[in-house]
Amino acid sequence: MEKVSIFIPITPYTISIAESLIENNINELSLSENILINPHGLEYKKQYWDEVIEDYSSRKVQRNVVKTYLNFFKQIYVFIKIYKRLRKYKKRKIDFYYVDLAHVLSNSVFFSFKSIENRFIIEDGILNYYKLTLKDKMLGRKRVNVFLQLIGLPTKTFAGDITGIEMPEVNKQFVFFPKEAFFPSKSDQIPYTRLEYSLNNKILILGQEPISKFVTEQRYLSSLDIIIQDMIKKLDHFELYYKPHHHGKKELTREFLKAKYKVNFIESNLPIHMFIKEIAPSVVVSFGSTASLNLKLLLPKNVKSYVYLFRDPQLPDNTYIEELFLKIGVLITELN
């Protein structure tokens, strides 16, 4: 194999999409040597990868400034180790698959590996449906890029969307809703198959525990109560499932829900779409989760989908995403 395809998916969701691209032989990936770069220690399926270069650095969001910088430096230590191992591919023809260029290792490979012939973006959810820049991101600060250059991890700041989709050297992005994506002319469909099953009054709530850092834990739990009471009004009898966010405090919602309701609490960190058929929900509820988008495509058309949105100064409204939810048939309720 002459060409190598290097993937840097940075969440369970994006790893699952990367593996779907390989499984469906997109871009003739069966003819390529497929390399998984896994700096955050995520689960993956070995059969799709010719080589895996992995380590562990947390991507957990921190509100404390000191903890944010400490976590950043821990990530950099891991990224430097992986970057050195990647140098052996610098003379190979490379197709590069990544998520966004705010991610330090992805940025470094994107700009410094001159043998990259093609660049492809993997959907990370709502990020791909509106324009977001490096403003207020680590790599949006010149001194951070200078520091990283000095320690052997060259990065660049740049104007434009955080994914780089506007750059001429980026071929395309793989997304679930190409026509609705930011830069639709360079957007291709992620392969998917719509599920079919009988509806049996099962309600799936997709948790968003990290929001509790902005709206308080008590308000988040109270909102869960509101949602479940709303569902009780809509369905006389139902079986409740709850999947916490993979970065969330599971124990927070586990204890609260089990004390008040009969609930099937999902412990798996795998993306929900990878085992949604086992649950076969009739209703899907979220706080604006990425999964609300792709599940609208994957689940039977008669499955109802609701999004409950917090209205809070610390969580600015995103009209682009709200319009997208409404366009694809997701009903929105405001949480005051």
- pLDDT tens digits, 11-31: 999 999 999 999 999 999 999
Q: Does residue 219 sit within a domain?
A: yes
Interatomic CA distance for residues 206 and 230, integer angstroms: 15
pLDDT value for 319: 85
Q: Which two tokens stand for residue 64?
A: 């404390």
Same domain, 60 and 148: yes
pTM above 0.85? yes
- pLDDT tens digits, 174-212: 999 999 999 999 999 999 999 999 999 999 999 999 888
Same domain, 7 and 146: yes
Domain boundary among 167, 189, 211: 189
Q: Which of 60, 54, 53 is nearest to 41 (CA)?
A: 54
pLDDT value for 307: 95
pLDDT value for 239: 95
Where does residue 268 fall: left (phi above 0), alpha (psi -120 to 50 degrees), or beta otherwise?
Answer: beta
Same domain, 311 and 253: yes
- pLDDT tens digits, 57-71: 776 655 666 777 788
- pLDDT tens digits, 79-107: 999 999 999 998 899 999 999 999 999 99
pLDDT value for 1: 54
Domain boundary among 189, 221, 249: 189
Q: Does residue 22 sit within a domain?
A: yes
- Percent of all residues in the chain with a pLDDT value above 90, rounded to a whole number: 74
Q: Does residue 196 sit within a domain?
A: no
Same domain, 54 and 161: yes
Q: Tokens 């990868």 map to which residue?
A: 49
Residue 243 has pLDDT above 90, yes or no: yes
Same domain, 150 and 264: no
pLDDT value for 270: 87
Residue 139 — pLDDT band, cuts 50, 70, 90? very high
Mean pLDDT of 124-138: 90
Range(s) of the domain holding residue 76: 3-189
Same domain, 272 and 224: yes
Same domain, 178 and 319: no
Domain boundary among 166, 189, 212: 189
Q: Does residue 296 sit within a domain?
A: yes
pLDDT value for 305: 95
For residue 282, which amino acid is it?
S
What 3 state SS string does the chain have? CCEEEEEECCCHHHHHHHHHHHHCCHHHHHHCEEEEEECECCCCCHHHCCEEEECECCCCCCCCHHHHHHHHHHHHHHHHHHHHHHHHHCCCEEEEEECCCCCHHHHHHHHHCCCEEEEEEECCCHHHHCCCCCCCCHHHCHHHHHHHHHCCCCCCCCCCCCCCCCCCCCCEEEECCHHHCCCHHHEEECCCCCCCCCCCCEEEEECCHHHHHHHCHHHHHHHHHHHHHHHHHHCCCCEEEEECCCCCCHHHHHHHHHHHCCEEECCCCCCHHHCHHHHCCCEEEECCCCHHHHHHHHCCCCCEEEEEEECECCECCCHHHHHHHHHCCCEEEEEC
Q: Does residue 194 sit within a domain?
A: no
Q: Does residue 117 sit within a domain?
A: yes
Residue 2 has pLDDT above 80, yes or no: no
- Look over the chain and give the mean of its residue pLDDT values, rounded to a whole number: 91
CA angle 34, 38, 42 (to 5 degrees): 115
Residue 159 has pLDDT above 80, yes or no: yes
Radius of gyration of the chain (CA): 20
Q: How many domains in the chain?
A: 2
Same domain, 44 and 121: yes
Same domain, 146 and 233: no
Q: Does residue 287 sit within a domain?
A: yes
- pLDDT tens digits, 256-303: 999 999 999 999 988 898 899 999 999 999 998 888 888 999 999 999
Q: Does residue 26 sit within a domain?
A: yes
